Structure formats: structure tokens, C-alpha cells
Homo-oligomer: A and B are copies of this chain.
Amino acid sequence: MGNTRGKATALLLVAQAIILVLFGLFVDYDVAAGPRNNSLTTHTTLAHYYPIYQDVHVMMLIGFGFLMTFLKRHGFGSVGFNFLLTCYVIEWSTLVNGWFGMIGSNEGRILIDIKSLLEADFAVATVLISFGAVLGVASPVQLIMMATIEVVCYNVSIYVGIPLKHIIILKQVTDVGGSMFIHAFGAYFGLAVARVLYKKSQTLSKKEGSEYHSDIFAMIGTLFLWLYWPSFNAGPASGTERHRAVINTVLSLSACTVVTFALSAVTDKKNKLDMVHIQNATLAGGVAMGASADLIVQPFGALLIGSVAALVSTLGFKYLQPILQRNIKLHDTCGVHNLHGMPGILGVVASAIAAAIATQETYKDSYHELFKNTTRTSGQNGGYQIASLAVVLGIAIIGGTLTGFLLKLPVWDNLSAEELFEDEVFWDCVETVSEDEAEQNGSNDKQHEVVA
């Protein structure tokens, strides 16, 4: 695709052909989507998940896609490659999630229903977070390769230990909204890739920046992410836990937004607001609420989590990101470390505290629904949250680093300095301005229209 001399095309067509065959070999409709059997009542599954699935789906394509259009010369690539990666990962993760789900069972087929599609979107989210770290600096071929490997690593991080029953820790931690498995994992995987791909030229490009309308396009992404985040965090839950996850997430996001506005202004020397913070740090409350969204943190606890997330994220954008870029050569285009990385860790810490103080009395009938391992104490549950985070981060960083080195091989269309953050490399975006128009407007405008 683009000037990739056909590599992306070939890769996609081969991948699509393989996926088609694998679907034929492995994938079937689940009974809830299969031939109707009027004696069974399976139709509630769709009603339970579908509206929430659609919200999450909007987050993937509109949310992530438009959030990344802030770059003034990379709008097509942001929304376009986001679209491509989403679709590719929906297919690929349906297979990989399915295979990992089979481990330890005798089922030989992957049976899919609406819940499988929701789970595919969670894998998509993970990949799109990593995409943000390398936005504008990786070619489509590199992105497809990254996604292919990341989906496997993502599943490894969720299912690690399952075959080794004695270290079965991850499946039994609580992380309904994916602070750990989606946000922290996706961020550190992507950051590891970005670190390996780092070139000095990335920090010198004059094209990495926004302009007035590209910032407004990006707000479409921000707001749809913000609006549907409660569905993301509550999606896998049901009953009163789902209800609570919605409330906690709305409260956390609201507090996060208020605090972000306050901190964005106060950290600016002219006291002006920075669109980067408003577009991103306002969402940190959703990330940080993820792991404890269905826990009884109390409404004020949700506000507190959101407020601290805003603090961590805004200060991260303002102070930490430039330091990391200078000192450890980490170029993070979308600031995923500040939006997904640190708030994800914060979310796990919050969930560890909530788990450690949880009692059967407080949670009543949902205690063992939420904390599945019946042999642990509450304190141990809290500890396992942290231990699990360490394992997830380890897999993310090792996996991302190895992936980064693979992507750096000269065979995968590495971008040169002039090709960074620039749509013209991969997209046919030259204006066909007619001669008399060009005359009338002055020849500069021709260039201008292409650019702005």
C-alpha cells in the first residue's frame, strides 16, 4: 500500500486468504446464532450485548480513528489505517482468541456469538493503543505485522499460566474494563516498539503538529471515546455489577475532565489550555477506572480515581513525555504513555486496594463472582492484582521489543525522514485544481489546499 512496492497489498491478500481458510476450518456460529431451536431461549444474549457492543465498536473506528486525526498532514493515515487495523484484527483475533479459549477444553471448533465480537474489539483496542505510539512513523506493512504479533502476545498475557495450573494467576484477577490487559499492555507493547523504531528524525519533523481544524476533528474522537467508555468498562459485566460499572465510569470521567481543564491551564505559562490535554487526559479517568469499574469503590471513590488519573495524565503530557523523549529516546506520537500507560497502572493499583478491602459482607452474592479464586484472602487478591500487572508488563515489553526489532528489518518499508507524519506517502491526495482556479487564487493555494 502506498509506496510500499506492493508489499502491503501482498501481505493483506495473503493474510485474508489464510484467514478465510482458517475460518472455514475452525469457526462456526454459536448456538445462540445458529439454527433456531424454539425450545431454547438463547436470544437474550444479543439483547444483552448488542447495544454495548455497538458503543464499543464506535469507540474503535470513530473514537480512536478521529482522536488521531489531530496531525495536520496525517488525517487520512490516522483514520484510514485505524480502519484497516480494526478490520484486520477483528478477523485475526476471532481466530486467536478462539484458539486460546480452547486451551484445556476438548472443543475443536471456535463458536462465535456477539460476545466473541465484543472480545475481538477488546483485542482491537489493544492494537490501536499501540498504533498511537508509532502513529506516523510506521508504514502500513509494519503496522500489519505488529498487529499480527500483538494479538498473540495479548492472548498470552491473558491466558498465561492456564496450561500450568499452579501459576494460574491472570485469569483470576479482576479487570473488567481492561486497565491491565488492554490499556497497560497495549501502551507498553507499543512503547517498546516505538523505542526500537526510534530515529532522531522523528523528533525533528515539522509535520508533527496540529492545525485548527485537525484539532476539532480530533475532538470528535475524544468525545465518542468519552461517551461510550462506560460501555467499554461495563460490557463484560452483568447484573448490578454492570450497572455499577456504568456509574463509576461516568463519575470518574467527569471528575477527570474537570481536573484536566484546571491543570492544563495552570501548567501553561500563559495560563492557556492545551488541546493535547483536553483531547487525551480527559479520557484517563476511563482507563484508570477500568480494573475496578465493577467493584464497590463508592461514588466518591470513582471521583477520586478520575481526579488522580487527570493529574497523572496531564503532568505526564506536560513534563514526563519531553523528558522520556530526550533521555531515553522514546518518541510517543499520541502520548499513549500518558493516556493508557500510567493511568492503566493507576487503575490496577486502585483495583488492588479495592480488592484488598473487599469483604463478603460488602459484596454479598457477587463476592465470588468478582473474586473467583475462593482460596485467597482479600489481601491476597489485592496482591495478585499487582503481581499480575508485573507479568503483563513483562510480556508487553518483551513482546514489543522483539516485535520492534522484527519491524526494523529493512524488508518492511521503513519510513525515511521526509515520509514521517505525511499522508502523501501512502495516499493519493494531490488536488486536481483547474488552471483558472489556480490562477484566480494564486499558485500558493494549490499547495495549501493539499496540505490544510
Q: Report the nearest B residue to A45, measured CB to CB.
A: B243
Per the bound structure, the CA–CA distance linking A50 and B230 in Å amounts to: 10
Per the bound structure, the CA–CA distance linking A8 and B113 in Å amounts to: 49
Kindly report how many copies of this chain are found in the complex they form together.
Answer: 3
Interface centre among A32, A241, A263, A272 (most CB of B within 10 A): A272
Given A1-B273, A271-B2, A429-B275: A227 and B54 interface contact (C-beta under 8 Å): yes
Interface centre among A80, A87, A217 (most CB of B within 10 A): A87
- A149 at the binding interface (Cβ < 8 Å): no
- A304 at the binding interface (Cβ < 8 Å): yes
- Say yes or no: A20 contacts B304, CB within 8 Å: yes
Per the bound structure, the CA–CA distance linking A20 and B250 in Å amounts to: 14
Q: Mark A247-269, 1 if CB is under 8 A from B, else 0.
A: 10011011101110111111010
- A16 at the binding interface (Cβ < 8 Å): yes
Per the bound structure, the CA–CA distance linking A447 and B253 in Å amounts to: 35
- Say yes or no: A90 contacts B254, CB within 8 Å: yes
Give the residue of B21, B76, B117 whose beta carbon is less than 8 angstroms from that of A275.
Answer: B76
- Say yes or no: A23 contacts B426, CB within 8 Å: no
Per the bound structure, the CA–CA distance linking A54 and B227 in Å amounts to: 7
- A224 at the binding interface (Cβ < 8 Å): yes
- A220 at the binding interface (Cβ < 8 Å): yes
Which of A195-203, A207-215, A371-379 faces chain B?
A207-215
Give the residue of B43, B80, B266 whose beta carbon is less than 8 angstroms from that of A239.
Answer: B43
- A326 at the binding interface (Cβ < 8 Å): no
- A179 at the binding interface (Cβ < 8 Å): no
Given A254-B90, A273-B2, A448-B445: A296 and B209 interface contact (C-beta under 8 Å): no
Give the residue of B46, B209, B228, B262 whose beta carbon is less than 8 angstroms from that of A1.
Answer: B262
- A366 at the binding interface (Cβ < 8 Å): yes
Which of A58-66, A342-350, A399-407 faces chain B?
A58-66
Q: What B residues does A29 contact at CB under 8 A? A: 244, 247, 296, 298-299
- Say yes or no: B441 contacts A265, CB within 8 Å: no
- Say yes or no: A62 contacts B272, CB within 8 Å: no
- A106 at the binding interface (Cβ < 8 Å): no
- A126 at the binding interface (Cβ < 8 Å): no
- A170 at the binding interface (Cβ < 8 Å): no
Interface centre among A244, A258, A436, A449 (most CB of B within 10 A): A258
Q: What B residues does A8 contact at CB under 8 A? A: 261-262, 265
- Say yes or no: B441 contacts A447, CB within 8 Å: yes
Give the residue of B1, B57, B112 whose beta carbon is less than 8 angstroms from that of A265.
Answer: B1
Residues facing B in A352-407 (CB within 8 A) are 362-366, 369
Q: Mark A273-313, 1 if CB is under 8 A from B, else 0.
A: 11100100010000000000000101110011001000000
Per the bound structure, the CA–CA distance linking A77 and B21 in Å amounts to: 45
- Say yes or no: B369 contacts A299, CB within 8 Å: no
- A38 at the binding interface (Cβ < 8 Å): yes
Given A43-B239, A217-B216: A365 and B113 interface contact (C-beta under 8 Å): no
Q: What B residues does A107 contact at CB under 8 A? A: none
Q: What B residues does A282 contact at CB under 8 A? A: 83
- Say yes or no: A303 contacts B431, CB within 8 Å: no
- Say yes or no: A240 contacts B42, CB within 8 Å: yes
- A35 at the binding interface (Cβ < 8 Å): yes
- Say yes or no: A219 contacts B79, CB within 8 Å: yes
- A325 at the binding interface (Cβ < 8 Å): no
- Say yes or no: A84 contacts B258, CB within 8 Å: yes
Closest 3 A-B residue pairs measured CB to CB?
A206-B434, A36-B366, A1-B265
Q: Given contacts A42-B240, A43-B242, A87-B255, could you give 7 more A-B pairs where the C-beta distance is less than 8 Å? A: A9-B266, A15-B258, A33-B243, A43-B239, A54-B227, A61-B227, A273-B426
